[in-house]
Amino acid sequence: MTDSRKAELAHNTKQLLIALDQAANAAMGFVAALVALWPRCRSAGLWWADETISAHCWRWHINGVRSWPRRMVDGVALILGDENHCLESYKSEVEGRQLPPEMRDDTAFMDRIHCFLPGWDVPKLNPTLFTAHFGLVSDFLSECFTQLRNQSRVSVLQGRVFWGGALSGRDLNGVNKTVSGLLKLLYPNAETPVSDEDLEWAVRLALEVRRRVKETSGIDLEWEIKRIGISR
């Protein structure tokens, strides 16, 4: 067997083990959701299909959910000579190391993504977030959002926000569209004046999610992250 065939076998075996790990994590989430249907059982939380058990244990740890699974997995991995296994698994998925080279290394493709919002940074739903007042049917909201897609709020930025020369054309395009989308949610009526505070909030958030695209697509391009002038 040639060295290239051995490398192919090792790579594909690793991918199979990762896929089985992710499938096991999703299956555990399904079982946990079924158990949570019973009264007096705690919520199962949200589980993700592309997340390994080790990465999930680390996410539990940093979110303060529970730390014993991380200690258990790291302890077993340490015996096998793998230090900080859960942390490295988490970083591997955040940085997209498991993606094919065409997506992982093609920065031109990734650079055309306007924003990146990791699901693990989104607050989980809990009873305190639900209102006791009247609401709108989701179909109605969906139609409203569809109609808003035909509008733009980019003109609000003119004369009020100055980007400087650090942002590239793709940066400006992504940030402008993100700001426009956020302002349409806050101000569905295009005639309503946008306050400076809301505009600053939208701009800062758009720059942040654009920076995350740079961090994801340019893991080895630290100069590119610094060049766009957005502090960490």
- What would the pLDDT profile of 158-209 be if each residue is shown by its tens digit? 888 888 777 778 888 888 899 999 999 999 988 889 998 999 999 999 988 8
Domain identity same for 151 and 208: yes
* Predicted local confidence at residue 197, as pLDDT: 92
Domain identity same for 142 and 59: no
User: CA-to-CA distance for 151 and 19, rounded, in angstroms?
Assistant: 42
Q: Indicate the Cα dihedral angle 78, 81, 86, 89, nearest 10°.
A: -170
Indicate whether 173 belongs to any domain: yes
User: CA-to-CA distance for 86 and 77, rounded, in angstroms?
Assistant: 9
- Which of 151, 161, 211, 207 has its CA nearest to residue 181? 151
Indicate whether 122 belongs to any domain: no
**How many of the other CB atoms lie within 10 Å of CB of 157?**
20
Domain identity same for 136 and 86: no
Domain identity same for 135 and 219: yes
**How many of the other CB atoms lie within 10 Å of CB of 158?**
7
Q: Indicate the Cα dihedral angle 197, 199, 201, 203, nearest 10°.
A: -150
Domain identity same for 86 and 164: no
User: Would you state the structure tokens that stand for residue 157, as one six-digit string?
Assistant: 């930025």
In the three-class reduction of DSSP (H, G, I as helix; E, B as strand; rest coil), residue 163 is classed as coil
User: CA-to-CA distance for 164 and 43, rounded, in angstroms?
Assistant: 47
Checking if the pLDDT of 232 tops 50, the result is no
User: Would you state the structure tokens that stand for residue 72, as one six-digit string?
Assistant: 């258990």
Checking if the pLDDT of 229 tops 70, the result is no
Q: What is the pTM of this model?
A: 0.50
Q: pLDDT grade, residue 219 (50/70/90)?
A: very low
**What residue spans of 129-168 are helical by DSSP H?**
138-148
Compute the average pLDDT of residues 55-77.
85
How confident is the prediction for the chain on average, in pLDDT? 79
Indicate whether 106 belongs to any domain: no
| Cβ contact 51:60 at 8 Å | no
* Predicted local confidence at residue 105, as pLDDT: 62
Q: pLDDT grade, residue 43 (50/70/90)?
A: low
Last residue of a domain, one of 98, 114, 139: 98
User: CA-to-CA distance for 50 and 18, rounded, in angstroms?
Assistant: 9
Indicate whether 116 belongs to any domain: no
* Predicted local confidence at residue 201, as pLDDT: 92
Checking if the pLDDT of 227 tops 50, the result is no
Q: How far is CA 49 from the centre of its chain?
A: 14
Domain identity same for 53 and 138: no
Indicate whether 110 belongs to any domain: no
Number of domains in the chain: 2
Domain identity same for 73 and 152: no
- Which of 77, 86, 117, 73 has its CA nearest to residue 210? 117
Checking if the pLDDT of 149 tops 70, the result is yes
Domain identity same for 8 and 94: yes
* Predicted local confidence at residue 37, as pLDDT: 76
Q: What range does the domain containing 169 cover?
A: 127-227
* Predicted local confidence at residue 144, as pLDDT: 87
Domain identity same for 44 and 83: yes
Of 63 and 230, which is predicted with more confidence?
Answer: 63
Domain identity same for 23 and 91: yes
Domain identity same for 135 and 88: no
Domain identity same for 137 and 54: no
* Predicted local confidence at residue 118, as pLDDT: 74
User: CA-to-CA distance for 50 and 114, rounded, in angstroms?
Assistant: 22
Reading phi first (left if > 0) and then psi (alpha if -120 to 50, else beta), residue 56 is in alpha
